[in-house]
Every structure is written in C-alpha cells, then in structure tokens.
Amino acid sequence: MTLPEHFDQNEWFVLTGVILSYLLVYLLPRRFPISVMILVMLFAIVCARFLDHMMAAPSIDLYDIMDKGSYELFDLVLYSFYAPFAYLYIFLFDKFKIKGIWTGLYILIWSLIAIGFERVNMYLGVFHYHGWKVAYSFPVYLAVQSLTLLFFLYIQHHYNHLKSKQKES
C-alpha cells in the first residue's frame, strides 16, 4: 500500500469528509445497539470494497480511485467513508419509521443522493472513469441500498429475538 504522490484536493476531501461524517455519527443520539451499528457500517465497507474490486480490477478497469490505478492508503480511507453514510441511511429510516411504499421512495431518494455524491467525488478527482458512466451507478445504488436495508432489518430482528430470549431465561 503506497502513499499518495501529491496530497491534493481529493485526499483533503476524503480526509475531511471521513472526519466530519464520523463526527456526525458520534453526535447523533444512539438508536441501535453498538453491535448492530458496527455490523451495518462494516456491511457498507465490504459492499464498497467488493464492488470496487469487481469493477475497477485491472482485468475490467472501468475506473480508478484516487490518484493511481494501484491500491494506495487513501483507497482504504475512502472505504471507511461509506460506513457513516450507511449508518445515517439506516438511522433516518428507523427514526422516521418508514414502511410500505415509502420504503421504495426512500431507497430511490438515497440512490439519487448517492449519484450526486458520486458526481462530487468525480469532480474532485476521487474517481477517474474509463468507460464507466455515473448513470451506470444508479441501479448499483438501488441494489446496495436495498441490501443494506434488508441486512439491517435482519440483524435488528435477530438482535431483538435474542434479547427477548435472554429476558425469558
């Protein structure tokens, strides 16, 4: 893992964004057990890493992350940026008790937010596309955010089930 050749706007953007987004997560009132929170955040990091590995691998090379086509330290920092977004996504979903058809609209809105955020990343030199277009990301965001929500609902249900069993004992 190498360091960036030049510490420029993309590194500053990622570093500042990571610090501010984790600060936001820290300042939000606690809605979930720490184990659920960690699992949701790790799920987001794993999804991002897995998809980037598939689509940005040298054999496919649809885009590069940060300054080089090779893995560097700020790629790792960038992956940690996905975790607070996933937490905020789940936090607001739970806070506003979104259900039914509103769930689909919620996923759609967050996918549009993700597209906007991707454009900012592209503008600031975090992503460099070789045949990839931002529009291709939209169905990916729809799928990943749906999976994130399903994952959260599953682990929250499992956590509540275990908690109720412990109370019975």
> Is residue 44 very low, low, confident or very high in pLDDT (cuts 50, 70, 90)?
very high
Burial pattern 99-134, b for ≥16 Cβ within 10 A else e, equals eeeeeeebbeebbeebeeebeebeebebbbeeebee
| pLDDT tens-digit readout, 4-31 | 777 899 999 999 999 999 999 999 999 9
| pLDDT tens-digit readout, 99-114 | 999 999 999 999 999 9
> Is residue 57 very low, low, confident or very high in pLDDT (cuts 50, 70, 90)?
confident
C-alpha triplet 95, 38, 105: angle, nearest 5°: 35
> Is residue 75 very low, low, confident or very high in pLDDT (cuts 50, 70, 90)?
confident
What is the rounded CA–CA span in Å between residue 20 and residue 44? 18
Give pLDDT, residue 2: 82
Q: Say if pTM beats, i.e. exceeds, 0.85.
A: yes
Give pLDDT, residue 66: 87
Tell me how crowded residue 26 is: count the other CB atoms within 10 A of its CB. 8
> Is residue 167 very low, low, confident or very high in pLDDT (cuts 50, 70, 90)?
confident
What is the rounded CA–CA span in Å between residue 147 and residue 86? 11
Q: Is 50 helix (H, G, I), strand (E, B) or coil?
A: helix
Contact 107, 149 (CB under 8 A): yes
Domain boundaries, the chain: 9-168
Concatenated DSSP letters of 88-143: HHHHHHHHTT--THHHHHHHHHHHHHHHHHHHHHHHTTSEEESS--HHHHHHHHHH
Tell me how crowded residue 18 is: count the other CB atoms within 10 A of its CB. 19
